[in-house]
Amino acid sequence: MDPIELTRKIRMALAPCSLGAWPTPLDTRPDLESASRTEVSLKREDRSSPRYGGNKVRGLEFLLAGLPAGTVCVTIGAVGSTHCLATAVHARHLGHRTVLAQFPQPETATSRALAAASVDRADFVARSRSHAGFPLALWRAWRTAGRLGRPRWIPGGGAAPAAVIGHLLAGLELADQLPAPPDAIVLPVGSGGTAAGLALAMAVLGWPTTVFAVRVAPALIANVWRVRRLSRGAVTLLTHHGIPIPDPPSRTPVVLDGLGAGYGHPTPAGEAARELAARHGVTLDPTYGAKAFAALRALPTGFRRVVFWVDDADLAVDMRGAGPPLLFVHGFPFDHTMWKHQLAGLTRWRRIAPDLRGAGASSAPASGYSMRRYADDLAAVLDGVGVEQAVVCGLSLGGYVLFELLRRHPDRVRAAIFCDTKAEPDSDEAKRGRDDLAAVAQRHGQTAVADRLVPNLLAPQTLENQPDVVRHVREMIQRMSLSGMVGALRALRERPDSRPTLPTVGVPTLVLGGEDDRISPPSVMEAIAAAIPGARYERVPAAGHLAPLEQPLAATRILGEFLEGL
């Protein structure tokens, strides 16, 4: 059965919506052979979508297809569920609302970031404090969905026959990406949909490849019987649409145990594998990918050529509205939610707000942090969403990245907005301060960093009168990954001098700063504006280093006036 023709028939018959960029890349990685004891290729499902990637996008293309206006998608998962976040992100893109019911899991930097991102993207989140209380959370979620519109159930984890077909298509992509069948495919298994789809793909291709599914959820959920049931359901669905495919029992995945103490609990083997992968530039989360990667070194003899399924997301991007594109770049150590008022208020623009690597819900590699890399990431985001040129608005670190974007990708910037930033590089004293803060982060964690930074970040009026803003800033700092925090500090420390760039800026430019900013005071911002031809300077009263968050009405008004004049 020709895989290209089969893919065409499936897409014609089931009419999935378009959420991802297919095929996802397959990276051959000889550098990982010593680390994994196998010849490894990486199937980059993490690059499936610039909005929010990962393997869940495959299934959501089928689960969200054809939903009527007014639909409210209801789904479940742990507080750090990538499925919940992916559903909220992609349902919003299609114009639907999302309600989540979530149960607790062990807290890690990754789960905190995913939990916060889910609250930001979903319309309502009901969370239980214990597994016993989860039925009540689900009842609250369903009742709320009914008030918001027409509820539509999306199975937890995307574990449904229609979603399995999306993963079948992922497996079929390998026929055009590999010169010969691999000995094995290794992936984590939670709800089972991806494993079921890949097993079907191997049957369709007639490959002798063994699918090793590393169990990261309790056996009641992640088991071979559930995978078989999902596989049979997908075969039945395709047959109903006139597309018969084989489903031989010999293609049932081999389930390996990688759970450890429980769902969401990092394991020693998984953490060792995560650190090992990170040294080779591969980012894995502790709940899924790290545990599966650890299994590579434990495969039976004879399985040399292996495809590892990278199913974590890469960069998370919040996109809203239509119109001329406007790209927001957050500061350190924050995430895209610092722009929440501008994302809500500048409705005449297509707002694009990524979490930089290591921040928010984006992946957090152990290395690879620099202004050049941040700028290239932004160019890749614009490529992914089909934008040639955007107005770019960067605050603090985001301003440094904007300078680098103007140097490396000047054709991508229609206009520039510099908020609370600097053009000069770090002094020797400032570099020592970066090193000291990195040591604090590594020794005492994100809360200690927040304790040190918050008093200097915000204006006195904000600290005294806006407890919600203070809490929001602390939460952003506390959910940033340690690797992202330390990596960003090194990038800040080594950033180039942007003063020679100022007179070369040839696009309309707004320079905006807080009146009480002690990090980038008005004199610094005025100097930037004076050195950029035709730049406009605006000072925001009663604001510190986070003017758009501290004084959102004034900052959004200034931004809106500048944008209207373009």
Residues 79 and 42 in one domain: no
Residues 225 and 89 in one domain: no
Enumerate the β-bridge partners of residue 392.
327, 416
Residues 212 and 354 in one domain: no
Per-residue DSSP letter, 487: H
Residue 88 has a pLDDT of 94
Residues 305 and 327 in one domain: no
Residue 248 has a pLDDT of 59
Residues 368 and 227 in one domain: no
CATH number at residue 132: 3.40.50.1100
Residues 85 and 179 in one domain: no
Residue 59 lies in a domain: no
Locate 231 and state its tokens: 């596989």
Residues 26 and 172 in one domain: yes
The answer to whether the CB of 511 falls within 8 A of the CB of 540 is no
Residue 60 lies in a domain: no
Residue 297 has a pLDDT of 86
CA distance 378 to 315: 10
DSSP string, 51-119: SS-STHHHHHHHHSTTPPTTEEEEEEEETT-HHHHHHHHHHHHTT-EEEEEEE-----HHHHHHHHHHH
C-alpha 139: how far from chain center = 28
The answer to whether the CB of 358 falls within 8 A of the CB of 314 is no
Query: In degrees rounded to 5, what are phi and psi of residue 413?
Result: -105, 110
Domain end position, chosen among 133, 153, 173: 153
Residue 423 lies in a domain: yes
Q: What is the pLDDT along the chain (566 residues), one digit of tens a residue?
A: 799 999 999 999 999 999 998 999 999 998 888 777 789 999 999 888 877 888 999 999 999 999 999 999 999 999 999 999 999 999 999 999 999 999 999 987 778 778 888 888 899 999 999 999 999 999 999 999 999 999 999 999 999 999 999 999 999 999 999 999 999 999 999 999 999 999 999 999 999 999 999 999 999 999 999 999 999 999 999 999 999 987 655 568 999 999 999 999 999 999 888 878 877 777 788 889 999 999 998 898 889 999 999 987 667 788 888 899 999 999 999 999 999 999 999 999 999 999 998 898 787 776 779 999 999 989 988 887 789 999 999 999 999 999 999 999 999 999 999 999 999 999 999 999 999 999 999 999 999 999 999 999 999 999 999 999 999 999 999 989 888 999 999 999 999 999 999 999 999 999 999 999 999 999 999 999 999 999 999 999 999 999 999 999 999 999 999 999 99
Map 146-183 to HEC letters: HHHCEEEECCHHHCCHHHHHHHHHHHHHHHHCCCCCCC
Q: Is 29 helix (H, G, I), strand (E, B) or coil?
A: strand
The pTM of the full predicted model, rounded to 2 decimals, is 0.77
Residues 128 and 218 in one domain: no
Closest CA to 328 of 381, 371, 384: 381
Residues 147 and 190 in one domain: no
Residue 328 has a pLDDT of 98
Strand order in the sheet with 97-103: 124-127, 97-103, 71-78, 150-153
Q: Measure the N-to-C terminal CA separation of the chain; round to a whole number of Å.
A: 54
Domain end position, chosen among 153, 179, 208: 153
C-alpha 141: how far from chain center = 24
Residues 48 and 149 in one domain: no
Residue 389 lies in a domain: yes
Residues 6 or more apart whose CB falls under 8 angstroms from that of 371 comprise: 400, 401, 403, 404, 491, 495, 496
Query: In degrees rounded to 5, what are phi and psi of residue 353?
Result: -135, 95
Structural domains counted in the chain? 3
- Rounded to 10 degrees, the C-alpha dihedral 354/356/360/366 comes to 150
CATH number at residue 519: 3.40.50.1820
- Enclosing H/E stretch for 372: helix 371-384
Residues 269 and 371 in one domain: no
Which amino acid is located at 564 in the chain?
E
CA distance 31 to 279: 10
